[in-house]
Chains A and B, each alone.
Chain A
């Protein structure tokens, strides 16, 4: 853990953002809470499944379950519960996919559901580039968009557990204990997944 003298401005701003975010969760309705987390949750699910529609379905099911079962809990409890349900739904998705492939091995899982996985990757990238063209300084933003694509692609190369662990710990800011509860694993496993994810990401992004 960094001491005060070792804190960089980036770290301090992250801490302040974290405190502000935690304060904001105290006096909000469940709908406001869902509005805060839905986009990040979608991105996590989309990186895990590499499919927009599956990710949307997962996020919707997560929201429904949180509201049905846990709306009576305090606002502080919603965040770890939400991510626990999200992780569970992502794992359910992969179990269903595995079962589907076992019984219908000749069919492509996403093709049968109306979309091609490979088409999606190209469409997403071109969509992001097209959006970049709308900006005033297209060259600068194009580089930004390419970085976004590089990072998301690097995350998709990781195993589901490693990528989800990294995003929960680093991006969402959950501590080791909260991440372990969300992922339904031990704190030791969380630390292992996290360090391996970091190592793989550094290698993948530095090699490019």
Chain B
């Protein structure tokens, strides 16, 4: 690819000189550029901590919400099981009382006809 073969040592020296010039160009950055880079870095890291706080709060809220819903759904089940059973019992007792009366009426009717 390269027509001229340069010795490796001069290649390294050449690259070192370019890198030195680039290092110097970074050292000589103006105070304004340095300040803006500083601000950019602070903004980037602040944004991250704010985003992290948001997600932590959202997760905590979601967990609390699920716990409340689960707790509320458990409470009514105990009341519901008692009520229908009590109603059935009461209904049975009423029915039994009526049946006894009806039986007694039928016996009285039979004895009267006899």
Contact = CB atoms under 8 A, between A and B. Distances in A.
Interface of A: 2, 6, 8, 10-11, 14, 30-31, 34-35, 38-40, 42-43, 52, 56, 59-60, 63-64, 66-68, 71, 127-128, 131, 144-145, 147-148, 150-152, 167, 170-171, 192, 195-196, 198-199, 201-202, 205
B11 interface: yes
Interface residues of B, number: 33
5 contacts: A14-B16, A38-B37, A56-B33, A67-B48, A68-B51
Contacts of B13: 10
Given A60-B44, A198-B14, 4 more contacts: A10-B12, A147-B24, A151-B18, A195-B1
Given A10-B16, A170-B15, A199-B2, A34 B33 contact: no
Contacts of A144: 24
Interface string B13-52: 1111011011011101110011011001101110110010
A122 to B, nearest CB: 15
Nearest to A62: B44
A157 B57 CA distance: 51
B25 A152 contact: yes
A10 B18 CA distance: 13
B33 A195 contact: no
Nearest to B46: A67
Given A42-B33, A56-B33, A148-B21, A195 B28 contact: no
Contacts of B2: 195, 199
Contact of B41 (A31, A68, A170): A31
